[in-house]
Amino acid sequence: MIIQIYAMVSLDDARRMAELGVDHIGFLVGEKEGNTVISRDLAKRICEALPNKTKVMMPILDLMMPMRDLTKKIIELAKEIKPDILHISSESFGVEELEEIKRALPEIKLMRSIAVDDEDAIECAAEIERFCDYFLLDSPGEPLRVKGYIGSTGKPHDWSISREIVKNSSIPVILSGGLSPENVGEAIRTVKPDGVDACTSLDMNSEGRKDVEKVREFIENARKEEVE
């Protein structure tokens, strides 16, 4: 079971998450720092400090620019920071953009979020699967007020649709969307994903620092389902 935790705002938190056994450690990178958005320098230091752990980088960029320019900018950013996994959390990135990114970044795994709103999500997954290494199934919404952005709502979605995507997918599928220590076990039993992701339910404060005990409980409850 892959355990993925977003979003690191400090090197200390990233190290603690690694010590607790988190498999994928996520951070948001932007031109302007604030709350859960960190600088390029901190992102690179997190990557360098955790050589034996997988890092997930999700750039938050200006989605108002032309897609060709945006895709180029993301590729340049990934080459600079060198994450293990590049996470694309925008519906704006379709087959053409994903293919370009994969071709430009052969050493970096590509994760694409899918907004699980209705059964169209199943069709979306089938269409883009060959260009991805992971899917992240998340709840639709625009909490960051960025057009097309998927996730960070803190709300669950229809797990029955996610279950269908998992059954039909040939790549690892990570479930997200309102997961917490309290419901992660039920989510795993219902959806049977390859991994689970949490963010807002594990925050200790509005600045995005993580509650270590909640993270520990989340991991324990998720790992328990592997045994059972």
Identify residue 18 by its one-letter amino acid code.
A
85 Cβ contact partners less than 8 Å away, ≥ 6 residues apart: 24, 54, 55, 56, 57, 108, 109, 110, 111, 133, 134
- Residue 158: pLDDT above 60? yes
Count the Cβ atoms, other than its own, within 10 Å of residue 140.
19
**Cα 150 from Cα 34, distance rounded (Å):** 19
- Residue 178: pLDDT above 50? yes
Strand partners, 59: 29
**Cα 202 from Cα 9, distance rounded (Å):** 13
For 82, left (φ over 0), alpha (ψ -120 to 50), or beta? left
pTM over 0.85: yes
2-227: what fold? TIM Barrel (3.20.20)
Give which of 79, 27, 30 is closest to 56, Cα–Cα. Answer: 27
Q: What is the chain's mean pLDDT, rounded?
A: 87
Count the Cβ atoms, other than its own, within 10 Å of residue 64.
8
Give the range among 3-12, 33-42, 76-85, 216-225 with minimum mean pLDDT.
33-42
The pLDDT confidence band at residue 121, using thresholds 50, 70 and 90, is very high
The answer to whether the beta carbons of residues 225 and 3 sit under 8 Å apart is no
- Where are the chain's structural domains? 2-227
Helices and strands (H and E) in the chain: how many: 8, 9
**Cα 47 from Cα 41, distance rounded (Å):** 10
Q: What percent of the chain has pLDDT over 90?
A: 61
**Cα 171 from Cα 134, distance rounded (Å):** 6
